Chains A and B, each alone.
Chain A
């Protein structure tokens, strides 16, 4: 008595090739998706933290009484400053955990001030921007380095007015 055990080897090979191909393609898509998800969450975190930092600096500037006090505050708390086309630019740097650091420059917060002197005081245009030094991975779009930005103005009366 001979029992022959025969395998449909051609069909199996085709299935193996198909399943490996499907798994490879879907694996690449999945890993991409996970990567994009992770960095999307990091972007959301960065917006929240940068928003609090920028608002705080803006509110401190709002509470000051003169343009000189503003420059003094910014010189003390920011790492560097320079003039650019008549505008004052102050910069400070943060590491990846959003702790201020001049060594590990993962993020930069930049304040640009320009003065409009009027008859009775000084109206300062303020722009505060938080940017990531390197672009987020898995993103190819331009302009995604900017994390948060606000534009505002602050008026310091030289005479005739008062905030209290």
Chain B
């Protein structure tokens, strides 16, 4: 009679390997989901920052408008003589086009945005008043493409 001993290492390392493999795949999947969602959140935050900045500079432009209107009101109330450009010159940041008939100023934000305001200064029986001709949003600095070019091929002679 022969006694045969058969050693069967059932599942030797098999379960562990499979479990680790499955866990790794699922972890990658879950991290990928989070990365996708987080990238969308970052985009939404960037859009939020730009919008907040726009309304802050809009508010500052309105504040400047109130200063200009206060100055015009004083001119109308006191009926002082002299050019209105002299009276309005005391307000920071404004400049004149066309001998005081057109007034402009710019308000800057922190996200490369600015609002450029152009006012027409008009006069009627009650006195001077403004009319908004332009309230344009634009970039402060435009991207500079010139220095970033790379010569790929200069051609053959």
Contact = CB atoms under 8 A, between A and B. Distances in A.
A7 to B, nearest CB: 5
Contacts of B6: 3-6
Contacts of B55: 58, 150-152
Q: In the complex, which range does the number of interface residues on chain B fall in?
A: 35 or more
A155 B27 contact: no
Contacts of A8: 7, 9-10, 12
B129 A149 contact: no
Nearest to A159: B73
A55 interface: yes
Interface string B97-118: 0000000000000000000000
Contacts of B43: 44
Nearest to B7: A6
A73 interface: no
A26 B33 contact: no
A154 interface: yes
Given A6-B8, A15-B15, A164-B132, A38 B58 contact: no
Interface stretch (B34-42, B87-95, B137-145, B147-155): B34-42
A140 interface: no
Contacts of A33: 27, 30-31, 33-34
Interface stretch (A17-25, A90-98, A99-107): A17-25
Given A40-B37, A47-B45, A153-B59, A162 B130 contact: yes
Given A4-B4, A6-B7, A55 B70 contact: no
Contact of A155 (B4, B11, B33, B62): B62
Given A2-B3, A159-B76, 7 more contacts: A3-B4, A5-B8, A23-B23, A30-B26, A47-B48, A150-B56, A155-B66
Interface of B: 1-16, 18-20, 22-23, 26-27, 29-31, 33-34, 36-38, 40-41, 43-45, 47-48, 51-52, 55-56, 58-60, 62-63, 65-66, 68-70, 72-74, 76, 126-132
7 contacts: A6-B7, A6-B8, A15-B13, A19-B18, A23-B23, A37-B36, A155-B66
Interface of A: 1-8, 11-12, 15-16, 18-20, 22-23, 26-27, 29-30, 33-34, 36-38, 40-41, 43-44, 47-48, 51, 55, 58, 62, 118-121, 123, 125-126, 148-155, 157, 159-164
